[in-house]
């Protein structure tokens, strides 16, 4: 089967609107977690996983571009910080490998752009997919926010479920692929304007929220 990339555009759900980089501090008690798991002094709600430089919970930064945990920008949908992405930067995970696309009932993420670099770009969500269960990625669903709906200086939540449902409708056996570098990725394109800076937070799948935050 030939490798296919499907590019789709998501619709925005508008949210609310000097960043400092935090170094990893001494280990803290486990916080947050899925409902039913133990948590100590959780600063966030049930069903939220706190992803920081001290414990990334299976998320990793890309090897090119710039991606890092920062505080702000005001006011993140979860916690006090976010992941900052410059051109080529990415944060990804392989923890959802094997999840059937038809079983995804909720998929969204939030992003903020402090300024407009002039290209209309915004952080992109990419899912590597395995159409036939043979363990080899067969393509990618690349969900690109519509430039016409991007607002500068405030957080926006981007619901990506409809695009995944549309793909699953014609690929009933498709799953999230198993990719060591990360089958689910939030990124900024390597060819984007040099002045681009974007922030992402609150990636959500099937009700589980991942709070990218400082420590």
Structural domain range at position 96: 4-21+46-212
**Do strands 139-145 and 4-14 pair parallel, antiparallel, or not at all (unpaired)?**
parallel
pLDDT value of residue 14: 43
Residue 180 lies in a domain: yes
Residue 65 lies in a domain: yes
Neighbours of 71 (CB within 10 A): 18
Q: How open is the CA angle 114-17-90, to the nearest 5 degrees? A: 50
Residue 41 lies in a domain: no
Residue 93 lies in a domain: yes
Residue 37 lies in a domain: no
Q: What is the CATH number of the domain that holds 131?
A: 2.60.120
pLDDT value of residue 46: 66
CA distance 47 to 43: 12
pLDDT value of residue 107: 97
Placement of tokens 């947050």 in the chain: 32
H-run or E-run covering 169 = helix 161-170
Residue 79 lies in a domain: yes
Is the whole-model pTM more than 0.95?
no
Tens-binned pLDDT, residue by residue, of the chain (215 aa):
333 445 544 444 444 333 333 344 433 332 232 333 333 333 455 689 999 999 999 999 998 879 999 999 999 999 999 999 999 999 999 999 999 999 999 999 999 999 887 778 899 999 999 999 887 899 999 999 888 888 999 999 999 999 999 999 999 999 999 999 899 999 999 889 888 999 999 999 999 999 999 98
R_g (Cα) of the chain, nearest Å = 17
Residue 30 lies in a domain: no
Neighbours of 134 (CB within 10 A): 9
CA distance 52 to 154: 22
Total of domains in the chain: 1
pLDDT value of residue 146: 86
Residue 174 lies in a domain: yes
């Amino acid at each position: 089967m030939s490798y296919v990339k499907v590019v789709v555009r998501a619709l925005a759900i508008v949210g609310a609107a000097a960043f400092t980089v935090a170094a990893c501090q001494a280990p803290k008690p486990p916080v947050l977690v899925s409902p039913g798991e133990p948590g100590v002094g959780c600063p966030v709600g049930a069903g939220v996983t706190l992803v920081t430089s001290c414990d990334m919970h299976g998320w990793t930064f890309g090897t090119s571009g710039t991606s890092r945990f920062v505080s702000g920008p005001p006011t993140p949908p979860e916690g006090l910080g976010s992941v900052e992405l410059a051109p080529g930067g990415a944060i990804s995970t392989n923890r959802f490998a094997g999840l059937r696309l038809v079983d995804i009932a909720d998929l969204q993420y939030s992003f903020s752009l402090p300024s407009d670099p002039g290209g209309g770009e915004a952080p992109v969500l990419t899912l590597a997919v395995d159409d036939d269960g043979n363990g080899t990625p067969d393509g990618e669903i690349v969900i690109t926010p519509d430039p016409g709906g991007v607002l500068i200086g405030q957080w926006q939540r981007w619901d990506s479920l409809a695009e995944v449902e549309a793909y699953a409708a014609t690929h009933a056996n498709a799953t999230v692929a198993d990719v060591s570098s990360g089958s689910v990725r939030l990124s900024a394109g390597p060819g984007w304007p040099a002045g681009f800076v974007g922030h992402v937070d609150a990636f959500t799948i099937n009700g589980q929220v991942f709070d990218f935050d400082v420590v």
